[in-house]
Amino acid sequence: MVSETAANGTSLLDLNKFCFDEDSEAPNNKFNFTTPSGVGSSHRFLQDPAGSGKIVLPARRPAQCALTDTLVACPLCSRCFVYWRAHSSNDVTRVGQVRATDGDFPQSSIVYSVSSGGASPQYPNIFWINPKTGELQLITKADYETTSIYILRIQATNGEDTSSVTVTVNIIGENDEKPMCTPNSYFLAIPVDLKVGTNIQNFKLTCTDLDSSPKSFRYSIGPGNINSHFTFSPNAGSNVTRLLLASSFDYEGGLDKIWDYTLLVYITDDNLLSGRRKAEALVETGTVTLSIKVLPHPTTIITTAPRPRITYQVFRENVYSPSAWYVPFVVTTGSVLLLGLLVSLIILLAKAIHRCCPCKMGKNKKPL
C-alpha cells in the first residue's frame, strides 16, 4: 500500500530480497531487472538505479500549463507561470480562466481564489476570480501609467489539497489620458490696430499628456474664431505654442462687428498618426477657453444708443400788488421824518457854535 501523499523518492520495494538463484555463483547470481510495466505503472514507478530492482516513487515533474485563447488549464497541485495582456478599461473585462483538475475519484468540487497580488494605489485588488469557474476578471480601470504589471497568485482547493498558480498580467498602455494645458482659461485685451503676426500679450500654452509624446499635440480653434483673426504657432508638433494675430480687424469696412471674442481651443494628441491609423486609434482631446476683448482706437466711433437731453428753463417775474400800498407810504413818511430830524440837529449845532465864539466888535474898541 502506498499513501497518496508519499514523498518523492520513497522506496517502495527491493526485489533483491525476494528473488534468488541458487544454481549460480557470483557474479552470475546477480539479477538485472527491467523497467516496471503494466496498467497504470507508466512513469509512476522506476528503479533507482536502473536495473537494481529497487522500486521508488519518481520525482514529480511540474505540470505543464497550456494557454489556449483565454484558458489557463493547470492540474491541481501544480505551479506554472502564464502571461495575459489586458487593455485599460472602465468596464468589467474578462482576462482569462484558470482551470484546475483533480485526479482523485470521485472528483471533488474545486474552489478558486486570488490569494495575493492585484493591488493598485486606489484599490486593494482590481481583479476578481469566479470561485466556481476560475474565470479571472478585471473589475475596475487598470492604469498603465501607474502600474503596468500585476503578479497574481491564484489558489485552487478541493477541501483537502491546495494548489496555486502565478498569473502575470501585463497592462498594455492605451491613449486614455487627455492633454492638460496651462493656463486652462485666460482673459486678454488687445488694441484694434495691433500688428498682424504679433504674439498677443506674450501669451503661450504649455501642455502635457501622461501617455503621449510632446510632439503629438495639434492645436485648433473652434467656431469662436470669427473671420479667423487668431491662430497658434506652432500649430502642431510641440507642447508649447503661442497665440498670434493672424489678420487685422476691419470695423470701418463692416467686416467685423463684435468686440468680444470667446475662443475654445482644442488640443488633440494625434499629430504623429497617419491618416489610416488616426481613423482607427483612440484619440483624446483637451480644451482651453480664451476670452479676448478688442479695445477701440480713440478716434474710432462706436455706434451707441443716443442719450436723452434735459433742458432746464428758469423764469423770473416782478409783480406788484395794489394791496401793498402801505409799503411805499411808510417808506416815504419815514424818509421825510428822518430828513427833518437831520435839519433840526444841524440848526441846533450852528446856534451852539455861534454862542461859544462871538464875532461882534465892541463900541469902545480903539482902532490901531
| CATH code at position 133 | 2.60.40.60
User: What's the pLDDT score for residue 121?
Assistant: 72
User: Which are the contacts of 6, defined by CB distance < 8 A and separation ≥ 6?
Assistant: 57
Segments forming the whole domain that contains residue 111 = 66-172
pLDDT at 88 over 50: no
Q: Are residues 44 and 110 in the same domain?
A: no
Same domain, 143 and 213: no
| 216 in the same domain as 156 | no
Give the residues across from 80 on adjacent strands. Answer: none
Chain centroid to Cα 337, Å, comes to 104
- What's the confidence (pLDDT) of residue 86? 45
Compare 329 and 186 and report the one with higher pLDDT.
186
Banded model confidence at residue 354, pLDDT cuts 50, 70, 90? confident
SS3 355: helix
Q: What's the mean pLDDT when you consider all of the chain?
A: 77
- Give the chain's domain count: 3
106 belongs to a structural domain? yes
CA distance 214 to 224: 26
177 vs 63, higher pLDDT? 177
Same domain, 72 and 118: yes
pLDDT above 90 covers a percentage of the chain that reads 27
Query: Quick check: is 334 in a domain?
Result: no
Cell, residue 145: 501609467
Angle (CA) 275 278 282, round 5°:
175
252 and 211 belong to one structural domain: yes
Average pLDDT over residues 98-121: 77
Domain final residue pick, 172, 199, 229 = 172
pLDDT at 84 over 50: no
Sheet with 230-233, strands from edge to edge, namely 180-182, 199-208, 240-245, 230-233
| Cα distances (angstroms) measured from residue 235 to each of 208, 209, 244 | 15, 17, 11
Provide the whole-model pTM: 0.47
Residues 56 and 71 in one domain: no
Cα separation, 200 vs 292, in Å, equals 10
Domain assignment present for residue 336? The answer is: no
Q: Can you tell me the mean pLDDT for 329-335?
A: 89
Dihedral angle computed from the Cα positions of residues 10, 13, 15 and 17, in that order, rounded to the nearest 10 degrees? 110
For 243-277, the pLDDT digits (tens) are 999 999 999 888 999 999 999 999 998 888 877 77
**188 contacts: CB under 8 Å, gap ≥ 6:** 200, 201, 203, 243, 290, 291, 292, 293
Does residue 158 belong to any structural domain of this protein? yes
In a domain, 327, yes or no: no
Confidence class of residue 62 from pLDDT cuts 50, 70 and 90? very low
216 and 121 co-located in one domain:
no
- Per-residue pLDDT for 69 more than 60? no
Confirm if 56 and 32 have CB atoms less than 8 A apart.
no
8 A C-beta contact, residue 185 and residue 288: yes
Same domain? 222 vs 267: yes
Distance CA 260, CA 294 (A): 6
Is residue 147 domain-shared with residue 215, that is, in the same domain? no
> What pLDDT shows up at residue 75?
44
CA distance to 45, 146, 147, 154, 261, per residue, from 122 (Å): 51, 10, 11, 21, 42
Residue 338 lies in a domain: no
Is residue 351 in a domain? no
Q: Which of 43, 61, 79 is the last residue of a domain?
A: 61
| Any domain includes 85 | yes
Tell whether 200 and 272 lie within a shared domain: yes
Among the candidates 146, 172, 198, a domain finishes at 172
Contact between 229 and 249 under an 8 Å Cβ cutoff? The reply is yes
Same domain, 31 and 70: no
Tell me: do 241 and 282 sit in the same domain. Answer: yes
Q: pLDDT class for 206, splitting at 50, 70, 90? A: very high
Output the pLDDT for position 281.
Answer: 76
